[in-house]
Amino acid sequence: MYKGQTVNLVLATIAFAVTFWAWNLIGPLSGTYSRLLELSPTQTSMLVAIPVLVGSLGRIPVGVLADKLGGRLMFATLCFITIVPVLFVGWSDSYGALLFWGFVLGVGGTSFAVGIPFVNAWYEPARRGFATGVFGAGMGGTALSAFLTPRLVESMGRAQTHVLMAALLALMGVVVLAAGRNAPAWSASKEPAMPRMREAMKVRATWQCAFLYAVAFGGFVAFSTYLPTLLQNVYAFAQTEAGLRTAGFSVAAVVARPLGGILSDRVGPVRVLLLSFAGTALMAVVLAFKPPVEIPAGISFVAVAFFLGLGTGGVFALVAKLVEPSRVGTVTGLVGAAGGLGGYFPPLVMGAVYTATDAYTIGYLLLALTALAALLYTLKAFRSGRGGG
């Protein structure tokens, strides 16, 4: 056990939460933008989804840089860089400007690829499921955004809320530089980036975990960004009410993620993933019937979040078991990119489905089929018990 591992795990988790809050600033305000700019459901879904694109693909180079420069410097750098799009999103009043700065805002979502190798290096192999699960709870930044952003905008105004977020990012960057440390066992990678990526892409576990994470984390991202819009369309909630319920969804996933990591250390990540995908498929079928609000719809949304959260914890426990530590940053970048991309397309599909049918039934059934496919693949790929399952 290294001295300082708890402090650095907490710092990394908070930095992850702050950057994820920034990454998800647009989704909770989708109703405001839709009314202000008279957007169609498809245009709204594009606006909500666009930050996810950079937050996904950007994880690949950021993961490589984390191996080279270390988590402390990369966390601080991402906090400082994200300030720029946060401010411009708050000051933009045209659809084109919001799309552009929303695209750049995706930089905040790349912090995940920094944190996984950072906390992995601080913990021994037997506790990496716990460490990555606790760090992953930082995705609760989406819950903070869903709950607080609409309320701050109502009380302070949109521009002022974004200035406050920029100040929080600046503070976080300074704290990480002042108090954060790379693990004693960590050493900077000397290999060039492209050969490292090519080698990582030759590792079978990279592609296996990328697919599983695209379903688990992609499902979480898609719901956490698009759920405010869905709840306003289907159940006619006010923006703040939709934000409150979306925050509840995110909190359930946040609680489940470290639980998924801890359970993976105990019973193996494969069993955790099987439970995750089976539960997600079942709840998606329930939601496809447009059940009454609160019970069973509200319970079903929370259950989906819980099952997806378990899966996100399970996937990176699997990465920690299958990938050598020196390659975790690069592999995390690739797997994290897949997870983010998994969250990019569903809001676009849901927007198109709602425009065409005035309902989300087809979208939920597609989620159920995708989760079922992930379950069957997990059974097939790890039936020998490889990966600790």
For 44, residues 6+ apart whose C-beta sits below 8 A from its C-beta are 30, 33, 34, 229, 351
Contact 360, 234 (CB under 8 A): yes
pLDDT in tens, 240-251: 999 999 999 989
pLDDT in tens, 10-66: 999 999 999 999 999 998 998 899 999 999 888 998 998 899 888 888 888 888 888
Res. 278 pLDDT band, cuts 50 70 90: very high
> Which pLDDT does position 202 carry in this prediction?
86
Res. 315 pLDDT band, cuts 50 70 90: very high
- With both helix axes pointing from N to C terminus, report the angle between 41-57 and 328-357 in degrees, rounded to the nearest 10: 170
264 pLDDT exceeds 50?
Answer: yes
> Which pLDDT does position 182 carry in this prediction?
93
Please give the single-letter amino acid code of residue 25. Answer: L
> Which pLDDT does position 197 carry in this prediction?
81
> Which pLDDT does position 67 carry in this prediction?
84
Whole-Å CA distances, 248 to 43, 225, 254 = 26, 13, 10
389 pLDDT exceeds 50?
Answer: no
pLDDT in tens, 99-116: 999 999 999 999 988 998
268-291 burial, b at 16+ Cβ within 10 Å, e below that, comes to bbbbbbbbbbbbbbbbbbbbbeee
